[in-house]
Structure 1
Amino acid sequence: MPGTTSDELVTVRYARWDGVDRPFTLVTAATPRSPGAGEVLVRIDLATVCGSDLHTVHGRRPSPVPAVLGHEQVGTVLAVGPGAPSCVDGTPVVPGLRVVWSVTASCGSCRRCLRGNPQKCQGLRKYGHEPFDERAPLTGGFATHCLLLPGTAIVAVPDGLPDAVAAPASCATATVAAVLAAAGPLEGREVLVTGAGMLGLTAVAMAALGGARVTAVDPSPARRVRAGQFGAARVRDVNEPPGLFDVALELSGRTEGVAACLSALDVGGIAVLAGSVSPADAVPVDPEWLVRGLRTVTGVHNYRPADLQSAVAFLAARHAAHPFAGLVEGAYALSDLGAAVRAAHGADAPRQAVLPALG
């Protein structure tokens, strides 16, 4: 970099995704040790392979090519630029602080941000989904470092919360926190959760903690057993009629799951759909059924800063009460990211761990 000495640079590595059916390319580069205004340089300690990463790698959802993927990770602050923000709860962001950060960076001033929807900012930047820029490549979790942009929500990770449990907070756990916020109070309610993967299991645990009686639906016997371990009062196969529910949370991303949530809504019920993040078949909705039944159907995508704070607080308080550590397996080097992606297919655990420091 012109005008920058070697003492002012940090050596970094990242795995560049070059498209469907092509291997990841491990790249070594250098980045300034001192971040710019409002920026934070973080060393990534552990990242997890999310279902959205799998959709991207296999061409099931549109994404820029090339790119640095990954958006579930935990890291340690190395340097803070002038004017960098505090954490969501006001904790100062300082070198040495262990953190997770939001999947999005928002401007804070456009009409969507001002209406309380920063997760849909008109100038949204999204970690793990940005077009590749060789001059500024540290935009995803599958790297040794990430440069946090202005407008990124940052949350400190408490001592005692393992990296493997904390990393999914940046996507899965925070998304579920947003889903439950959209669903409203759950005390005493009958709640249906379709899909018992990472999001579904987290939703089961959060909803049960909120006082709901939770029924989890999944085609996998092993996942149904695990849903019971996370607090489900009942589990059902997809072919078993689940009954009627006050709240239905769709987290499988499958058309059948969406249809099941809608058909299971009791009068006055609300369905929150969050799993449908890639193209799928449309699901018909009878407007008379919706109107006469006082039913509500809403969608959740991305999340607000408060949801990330809630996610970390939940994991800190409850990770020992449920087998969250068992939801992440593996310890892949960054150079073995392709193997981690392959291992994610059919794995017992819904997440595979990548440790960038391994090489």
Structure 2
Amino acid sequence: MKAAVLRDPKIGLRVEEIKTPTPKSGEVLVKVAACGMCHSDLHVIHGKIAFPLPCVLGHEVAGEIVALGPDNEYTGLAVGQKVAGAFLMPCGKCEACARGRDDLCGPFFDLNRIQGKLYDGTTRLAGTDGEEIAMYSMGALAEYCVIPSTSVAPVSEKIDLTKGAILGCAALTGYGAVRRGANLQFGETVAVVATGGVGSNIIQISKAFGAAKIIAIDISDEKLEAAKALGATHTVNSLKENVRETVFSMTDGRGVDVAFEALGNPATWKSALDALSDGGRLVAIGLGAGVQEAGVEINRTVRRSQRIIGSYGARTRTDLPAVVEMAAKGFINYKEIVTERFRLEDANEGYQKLAKGEILGRAIVDMSL
């Protein structure tokens, strides 16, 4: 099969012929319809997050199951099903998974995120000469990928399978931030800092959960206009306006109940904290490039009883089906978020545009092109 392989951050992604993988116990083989392009991939491509090389990236995917590994009798999965795959792939057996905290799955972080392997300690990817190739999540920048059965959800005919690729990361992460991280309550006020793929979904999901005001904060007027179309009630360009003064004027001098930070940058952390009310919650979603730190004003945080909550993905086994259903019913307008499509051969070009901030919403690699 063809796959976009990363061997050297100085060179970037190059399409190669590698072996088509085979699913093992509790896994499925998916023919990829499309794969979303995420900032987390960028950090690996640029060498800012350590990961084994060579590797195949791509961690939000939709496609069709073409083969089942053993031990899938009770999963409800079948060959021919259209599915969305989640980037966060719980093993289903560790202590965290046993208590429903898929987002804290130890083997996922220890084996997949550090070693590029699945839960038997081996990768499913190899070159035509047998060379091991690491997989970042399922390694979906390829014509086929192996995914643990815990990490896929069937999608109905109502879902556009190509644009639905973003459900497994951008939408799932947004849902996890709103539902799990913030536990957003009806009528609360929200700020969303950085309105790219994940931020766009947070806006929509916050609206579906009944947020009274949704303030989009970004440095791009074009992205802010797109945010209004998705449900933002107010916008702030943080290059042109003082975030704290503007947000407080929009909220009767209070600030917002919840500020979502969706980029992983010290400047956007500051914007999120500046927007926050007394007793408010900062929900941090964005991953930084390597080891980064953000400043927090200690006395304000303590005296004003503010909380900082990390949110990584969601609880895949329960939340991915919920995200798929929200998309099917129109609560998540994922189609509008996908603004650009690239061929697999042009994936490196797409990530270069993403790095320059030139992608509005989310881009995908479309295997039909």
Q: Report the TM-score range of the alignment, normalised by the length of the smaller protein.
A: 0.7 to 0.9
2:120 is matched with which residue? none
1:176 is matched with which residue? 174
- Residues 175 and 307, structure 1, Cα contact 8 Å, conserved in 2: no
Q: Which amino acid aligns with 2:4?
A: A
- Aligned with 1:98 (options 58, 69, 82): 82
2:214 is matched with which residue? 214
1:356 is matched with which residue? 367
1:314 aligns with 2:298: no
1:340 aligns with 2:350: yes
What is the DSSP-based 3-state SS (H/G/I as helix, E as strand, rest coil) of the residue aligned with 1:282? coil
Q: 1:59 to 1:37 in 2, by over 3 A?
A: closer
1:199 aligns with 2:198: yes
Give, in angstroms, the shift of residue 327 of structure 1. 2.7
Distance 1:253 1:214 in 2: 20
Give, in angstroms, the shift of residue 348 of structure 1. 4.4
- Residues 65 and 82, structure 2, Cα contact 8 Å, conserved in 1: yes
Q: Which amino acid aligns with 2:151?
A: A
What is the DSSP-based 3-state SS (H/G/I as helix, E as strand, rest coil) of the residue aligned with 1:163? coil
Q: Number of residues paired by the alignment? A: 339
- Aligned with 2:284 (options 262, 273, 276): 273
2:6 is matched with which residue? 17
Q: Which amino acid aligns with 2:77?
A: V
Compute the TM-score of the two structures, normalised by the length of structure 1. Answer: 0.85
Q: 1:226 to 1:300 in 2, by over 3 A?
A: same
Identity score, percent = 26
Q: Which amino acid aligns with 2:106?
A: Q
Question: Deviations for 1:108-136, whole angstroms, at most 9, x for unmatched residues?
Answer: 33233234322222211548982665257
* Unmatched runs of 5 consecutive residues or more in structure 1: 1-11
Q: Which amino acid aligns with 2:335?
A: A
Compute the TM-score of the two structures, normalised by the length of structure 2. Answer: 0.83
What is the DSSP-based 3-state SS (H/G/I as helix, E as strand, rest coil) of the residue aligned with 1:187? coil
What is the DSSP-based 3-state SS (H/G/I as helix, E as strand, rest coil) of the residue aligned with 1:105? coil
* Unmatched runs of 5 consecutive residues or more in structure 2: 118-122, 249-254
Question: Deviations for 1:14-63, whole angstroms, at most 9, x for unmatched residues?
Answer: 22111212143333244476x43212111001112112122221223222
Q: Choose 277-286 or 35-44, whichever is displaced more.
A: 277-286
Q: RMSD across aligned C-alpha pairs, in angstroms?
A: 2.5
Q: 1:26 to 1:318 in 2, by over 3 A?
A: same
2:28 is matched with which residue? 40
Q: Which amino acid aligns with 2:144?
A: H
Distance 1:128 1:308 in 2: 24
Question: Deviations for 1:135-167, whole angstroms, at most 9, x for unmatched residues?
Answer: 5757401111111235x3211112122134311
Question: Deviations for 1:47-81, whole angstroms, at most 9, x for unmatched residues?
Answer: 12112122221223222221000011101000112
1:247 is matched with which residue? 258
What is the DSSP-based 3-state SS (H/G/I as helix, E as strand, rest coil) of the residue aligned with 2:106? coil
Q: 1:232 to 1:331 in 2, by over 3 A?
A: closer
Within 5 Å, give how 1:1-359 maps onto structure 2: 12-31=1-20, 35-84=23-72, 92-124=76-108, 125-126=111-112, 130=116, 133-134=125-126, 137=133, 139-149=138-148, 152-181=150-179, 182-212=181-211, 213-238=213-238, 239-240=241-242, 241=245, 242-243=247-248, 244-279=255-290, 281-305=292-316, 306-318=318-330, 322=333, 324-344=334-354, 345-358=356-369
What is the DSSP-based 3-state SS (H/G/I as helix, E as strand, rest coil) of the residue aligned with 1:206? helix
What is the DSSP-based 3-state SS (H/G/I as helix, E as strand, rest coil) of the residue aligned with 1:191? strand
Question: Deviations for 1:238-279, whole angstroms, at most 9, x for unmatched residues?
Answer: 133322111111113221211222232222211110013433
What is the DSSP-based 3-state SS (H/G/I as helix, E as strand, rest coil) of the residue aligned with 1:177? helix
- Residues 85 and 168, structure 2, Cα contact 8 Å, conserved in 1: yes
Distance 1:107 1:331 in 2: 31
